[in-house]
Structure 1
């Protein structure tokens, strides 16, 4: 079970502070988001590698924003400078309004064609030698990637809930991410993904993006969750819904049914109230520290081995989640009987 902390918006000093705290709190990695409201992920990643010791940096890259050739060069260069601590998270984007601020926007199908070619060319370049590639979106001749990496340095992850995303990830990715959801939805989604895997390739990691609201008692955690939702302005909720209603992401569209039942618990610890406020992941694990840990074990039993964690309720959640949830889990050597004992 690996944990990655989702770095928030903010100035560079705050991001560095959060990264150092994540490293001290047992997180395996931090995620730098590739979106208009955030710092440039490559420049920020370069800064973070100089100010940390061992934590991995997961750099998100939207395939509509750049070329696979320049991405591959940046990926290799920064891995060499950081002793192999850089991973890449490929995203395709969902909001035509957001994407339109940076580039010409294609429809869902055309964006995923670009993503497929992006990853395919990226992989060809990483194999070394001279590369010729002719596609609908990218065309290179006599391309050679310099500098080169050892095959073990740096992993490629892909995020997306659509069938196109699953198929591309099954063919090319070292790991595959989706937004958080109810237990049975996640179980079925990854079961479908596993059926798409070619017989001759290693099983990729499967991950979810999930928010955590944890306190000493379940009652305190749920009070904090409801206060978080109630303190948001009606304007903030309307703008979030407008954003979501103009997305063609299948992952985000799955949250539509939760807009009218924001106070309901989807499970004893799962809450979709975040879908009212956040433009990406809409689910939180809410409960006591022990309840949250048991929910994480349940997700692991259902096939999740990588957790991208946020604590959107406040700027102080990282230390709480790290010391009371991540570090206790990481201190227990993994055994199959742990889950079977906790969840018979």
Structure 2
């Protein structure tokens, strides 16, 4: 297993503090999101590599408004500066409204066509030498990437729940990421993803990482965790919920659309007695679907219950966990101390990766 911490919106001080705490607290990497309300991920990643020693930085790039040529150059530059501690998370975007703030937003099919060409050209540039590329979305003549890397470093992750995302990840990526969901949904999804691998995958690890992004609400007891979850939901204003609903209604993301079925469920209180006792999914709560534009599921429960749920995900094939603690700025310390480090202590550590 690998654990990655999703860095929040905020100022430099908050982001730097969380990164340093994640490094000390057992996380192998942190994620910098590429979105309108976040700071520029490359600039932030440069700062973070200078203030940390070993944690990896997963830098998101939205192919709807980023170029593969400038992304490759930024990646190689920062990889050299940081001794190879940079990974790339390719995302396609989901909301016409949100994407329209940065570029002319294409439909679902055209965005994924651009994403496939983006990754194809990016990887060709990384091979070195002179690159010619003629596609529908990108066209370069006599391109050469500087700085060059003698030994390739870093990994490319592809995020997305659609068939198009699955196929692109199977062909090009070192890892495939989706939003958290019910256990059976995740298991079925990654089973479908792996069916693409024998046909499309060449010159890559035959067993790419399979990862989920999921929120954590953990406390000493089950009751305390659920109380914290519902207090967080109740504290949100009607305006926040309305804006999230507007985003979801204007999104053609397959991953986000799956949360629609859970929206009404998340409005109903779920006490300890209401949970399906012994059910593997009894700790999974879709309450964030009312408040968050992407990550709609939380693992809610005692520290032991949360650790057990992560282990269940691991047993069905999830080996890369992007965790968040959206309900407060203190969640990282709780999650690190009571969830991540205890899980790591039960496994053999090889380098920075938990096997």
Q: Matches of residues 291-310 of structure 1 in structure 2 within 5 Å?
A: 291-310=305-324
Q: In the alignment, which of 213, 216, 236 is matched to residue 217 of structure 2? A: 213
Matched position secondary structure for 1:61: strand
- How much does 1:268 deviate? 1.1
- Give me the TM-score of the superposition, normalised by structure 2: 0.92
Which residue in the other structure is 2:26 paired with?
26
Q: Matches of residues 86-105 of structure 1 in structure 2 within 5 Å?
A: 86-105=86-105
Greater Cα offset, 148-157 or 211-220: 148-157
Q: Does 1:184 align with 2:184?
A: yes
Number of residue pairs matched by the alignment: 335
Which residue in the other structure is 1:279 paired with?
293
- How much does 1:236 deviate? 1.2
Runs (5+) with no aligned partner, structure 1: 336-344
CA offsets 1:150-178 (integer angstroms, 9 cap, x no match): 45411100100000000000000000100
- How much does 1:130 deviate? 1.1
CA RMSD after TM alignment: 1.3
Residues in 2 aligned to 1:317 and 1:286: alpha-carbon distance in whole angstroms: 12
Which residue in the other structure is 1:8 paired with?
8
Matched position secondary structure for 2:292: coil
| Cα distance change on mapping 1:25 and 1:235 into 2, 3 Å | same
Q: Does 1:50 align with 2:54?
A: no
Which residue in the other structure is 1:319 paired with?
333
CA offsets 1:112-138 (integer angstroms, 9 cap, x no match): 000000000001111111111100000
Greater Cα offset, 287-296 or 191-200: 191-200
Runs (5+) with no aligned partner, structure 2: 350-355
Residues in 2 aligned to 1:150 and 1:183: alpha-carbon distance in whole angstroms: 41
Matched position secondary structure for 2:217: strand
Which residue in the other structure is 1:270 paired with?
284
Q: Does 1:223 align with 2:227?
A: yes
- Give me the TM-score of the superposition, normalised by structure 1: 0.95
Matched position secondary structure for 2:347: coil
Matched position secondary structure for 2:198: coil
Residues in 2 aligned to 1:143 and 1:41: alpha-carbon distance in whole angstroms: 24
Residues in 1 aligned to 2:150 and 2:25: alpha-carbon distance in whole angstroms: 29
Contact persistence 1:212–1:309 (CA under 8 A): yes
Residues in 1 aligned to 2:221 and 2:149: alpha-carbon distance in whole angstroms: 48
Which residue in the other structure is 1:170 paired with?
170
CA offsets 1:47-81 (integer angstroms, 9 cap, x no match): 00000111000000001122101100100110000
Greater Cα offset, 87-96 or 142-151: 142-151
- How much does 1:234 deviate? 1.6
Matched position secondary structure for 2:84: coil
Contact persistence 1:4–1:307 (CA under 8 A): yes
